[in-house]
Each structure stands twice: as structure tokens, then as C-alpha cells.
Amino acid sequence: MPPLLDDAALEGSSVVANCAMNRERSLTGSNGYGRELGLDIMEVLAERCTRSPRVRWLDLCCGSGRALLEATQLTAKGNLAEQVEIVGLDLVDHFLTTTVPRTLRLITGSATEWEPNEKFDLITCVHGLHYIGDKLGVLKRVASWLTKDGVFIANLDTRSIRRSDGTPAGRQLTYELRQQGFTYDTTRRRISREGSGKVQFPYRYLGADDQAGPNYIGQPAVDSFYDHVHQK
Ligand SMILES: C[S@@+](CC[C@H](N)C(=O)[O-])C[C@H]1O[C@@H](n2cnc3c(N)ncnc32)[C@H](O)[C@@H]1O
């Protein structure tokens, strides 16, 4: 096993604080949120607005918040500004603007520690889990933050979740993700879920390796190490 970092060391690592990583994705376009998640976010928000007086979207690891700002402007244009609340969370405050509209909140904090006061109809994480240490811990937290029929979708490479002997947790993990209510698309490397839930993974987090090298998007990423805990 490589030397493992705890959260504090990982968050200070040059791989996570890397200024070269793309924090500027737009909502749409060839490298935008829609393409990366296979989801038209404005369509989802608008459809939810037909069913609910309050619709909330949380974007974890939101980077500069560009996509969120664009969505906020579009909700205003579509007269949905009073209904839709958008929240972005990122470890670093490289946010595009300091004067954000009232319906957008950009928060500096870690997805491994932050606690929301409300539930969300949509939770996204575009190429953010690659830099998180306890990825399974974040998935567990996210499941508890969804509304009853809320939707979560994120990019995830399950090869970055490893056992203490260094091998990827592989098919067994995909099975366990499914058992806990997640869907994993192995081709597109996307994880999703519908509806809140109490998630229990049979894994104990050991720490993170920030020297794992480039992942499938070509950027240096973080491997997360776990002990498989046998449940009685
Ligand atoms: C590749 S960028 C993606 C940013 C944005 N989603 C986009 O696509 O433009 C990954 C982001 O994850 C953030 N990040 C890394 N670890 C985090 C953590 N523990 N909690 C919150 N954000 C984190 C980084 O600061 C960075 O902004």
C-alpha cells in the first residue's frame, strides 16, 4: 500500500489544490455539465418546478461556479428564480464572482464535512469525486441529503476505490453500490441514485493516495483505500 494521506494532508496536496484542473465548466456545450452528466439540468429543474413550490440543486465540488451562475441566470429568464435555489460547495473559493444573485449560494467547505440544513431535489458532482479521499463516505452523505424522489448524479471511476492490498474494489463494489440503491454506469463512469436513503457500505476508510497519477480524464487524481469489513 502506498503512504496514505488523511483529509487535512490531502486537501493541502498539490493534486487537489492544482490550479491547472478545469474548474470552469459551463452548463452546456462540448465539455459542459450536461455532456459530462448526460443530463439537461435546466430541464430537470423546470420539470421539478411544475410539481413543487421549492426546488433545490446542490453541486458538490462546483469549481468556479460558472455552470451554477449560468443556471441562476436562466431560471431568472424563465421566471423560476423565486422557486429554484442553487447551492455550490467547493474546497477552494475560486468562485467566478463575489456578487452572486440571492438565489445562488457558493460555499467554501469540504464535501466530507459540510452539513446542509435542507434536502435537495438534484445533487451533482462533476469530476469532483476524483479528488476526494473518502469517496464512499461522501456517497453515503449525499444519499441522506436527497429529497424522497431527489436525483444524484456524478462522475466516478470505481478503479480509484481500492482495497488495502492495492487492487481495485472492482465488481464486488459495483454490486454493493447497487445493493445500496446506486446505479453505476461502467461505460460512462457515472454513478447515480434516485431518492434519499440510509446507506451502509461494508468498508472502512484508510486514507488517500495523491500520487495515483492521471485517471481517465487525463488529470492526476486520488485513489481511496478501504478495508473490506465483513458484516455479521
Ligand atoms: C476538476 S474540478 C471540477 C469543478 C467543476 N465541477 C467543473 O466541472 O468545472 C474539481 C473540484 O473539486 C474540488 N474539491 C476537491 N476536493 C474537494 C472536497 N473535499 N470538497 C469539496 N470540493 C472539493 C476542487 O477544489 C475543484 O474545484
How far apart, in whole angstroms, are the C-alpha atoms of residue 58 and residue 25? 16
- pTM value is 0.97
Strand order in the sheet with 203-209: 161-163, 223-228, 203-209
CATH architecture of 7-227: 3-Layer(aba) Sandwich (3.40)
- Residue 85's nearest CA partner among 62, 54, 108 is 54
CA neighbor of 154 nearest in space, from 176, 171, 130:
130
Does residue 36 carry a pLDDT above 90? yes
Query: Helix, strand, or coil here: 70?
Result: helix
Grade residue 231 by pLDDT with cuts at 50, 70 and 90: low
Domain boundaries, the chain: 7-227
* 25 C-alpha to ligand 1 centroid (Å): 11
Which pLDDT band, with edges at 50, 70 and 90, does 91 fall under? very high
Instruction: Give pLDDT tens digits for 128-183.
Output: 999 999 999 999 999 999 999 999 999 999 999 999 999 999 899 999 999 999 99
Q: Read off the pLDDT of residues 103-131 as tens digits, 9 standing for 90 and up.
A: 899 999 999 999 999 999 999 999 999 99
Residues in a beta bridge with 191: 154, 184
pLDDT tier at 21 (50, 70, 90 boundaries)? confident
Distance 230 CA to ligand 1 centre (A): 32
pLDDT tens-digit profile of 80-89?
999 999 999 9
With 0-12 CB in 10 A as exposed, 13-18 as middle and 19+ as buried, what is 153? Answer: buried
Residue 221 has a pLDDT of 94
Q: Is 89 in the pocket of ligand 1 (CB under 6 A)?
A: yes
